Amino acid sequence: MTWHTGRLCGVDLETTGVDLESDRIVTACVVQCGGGQPTESATWLADPGIEISEAAAAVHGITTDRARTDGRLAADVVAEVVEAVTAAARGGLPVIVMNAVFDLTLLDREARRHGVQPLADAVGGELTVVDPRVLDKHLDQFRRGSRKLEDLARHYRVEHGGAHRADADALAACRIVWRMGQTFPDLSRVPLDQLHQLQMQWAREQAEALAGYFRRTPGKEHQADSVRSDWPLIPHQRNTTA
């Protein structure tokens, strides 16, 4: 059995915005699927404690009022999401996260904000991440067009139950990775720990290529300095000021 035909753990977050250091989780899903077992999905709605930007609400459909009315305490949600992902990782499951550097970095910052042991600290070397965005950009470098989750779902002929719903996105990411394993047999034969390391290299190469593009493009030169090559998350920088 190759890893893509075994049990997979998909993770997706919808948030108050796109600032990794200050925005918060609104909805989350951790799903386990495949491996000849029934799909099991856990979902959360949090009261993030801050306003949900209009732009973010337009994407995922959760307003500040709804989150305050129906959402649970953010600290409880964050702790439970980290616990669910930690259990899957310790059980040897690959953690499937589309654009992992966003979701896993934001989850890391939320954990630190609420006094929860961060995933990277809890799991350490047991954490193996599979990011369909990084894989697709490496495996099909010259394909034109967008590479958002819904685009990958369409390209790999995967059913997607609704973009920007955490539960649908998490399951779609797993299905896309499964389809990639079917499409690229050599990928499915790479051991997970090695694949994790390869994705770190590929993500770095992709970031360097993007930064180079910005530097060569008039009017976009300033964007090159903001491109980060970290993967699967941006390390936390401790504040050393008094």
pLDDT value at residue 239: 58
Q: Is the pLDDT of residue 242 over 90?
A: no
The answer to whether position 229 is within a domain reads: no
DSSP structure class, residue 92: T
Count how many domains the chain has: 1
User: Whole-model pTM?
Assistant: 0.94
Q: Is the pLDDT of residue 36 over 60?
A: yes
Average pLDDT over residues 38-64: 96
Long-range contacts of 139-145 (CB under 8 A, 24+ apart): 139/180, 139/184, 139/187
The answer to whether position 163 is within a domain reads: yes
Question: Residue 58 is part of a domain; what is its CATH number?
Answer: 3.30.420.10
pLDDT tens string 107-165: 999 999 999 999 999 998 899 999 999 999 999 999 999 999 999 999 999 988 776 78
Q: Is the pLDDT of residue 95 over 90?
A: yes
The stretches of 19-131 forming alpha helices (DSSP H) are: 54-60, 64-70, 74-90, 100-113, 119-123
The answer to whether position 32 is within a domain reads: yes
The answer to whether position 234 is within a domain reads: no
The answer to whether position 233 is within a domain reads: no
The answer to whether position 168 is within a domain reads: yes
Average pLDDT over residues 189-201: 97
Q: Is the pLDDT of residue 180 over 70?
A: yes
The answer to whether position 72 is within a domain reads: yes
* Structural domain of 31: 3-219
Q: Which helix (H) or strand (E) holds 15?
A: strand 7-15
The answer to whether position 39 is within a domain reads: yes
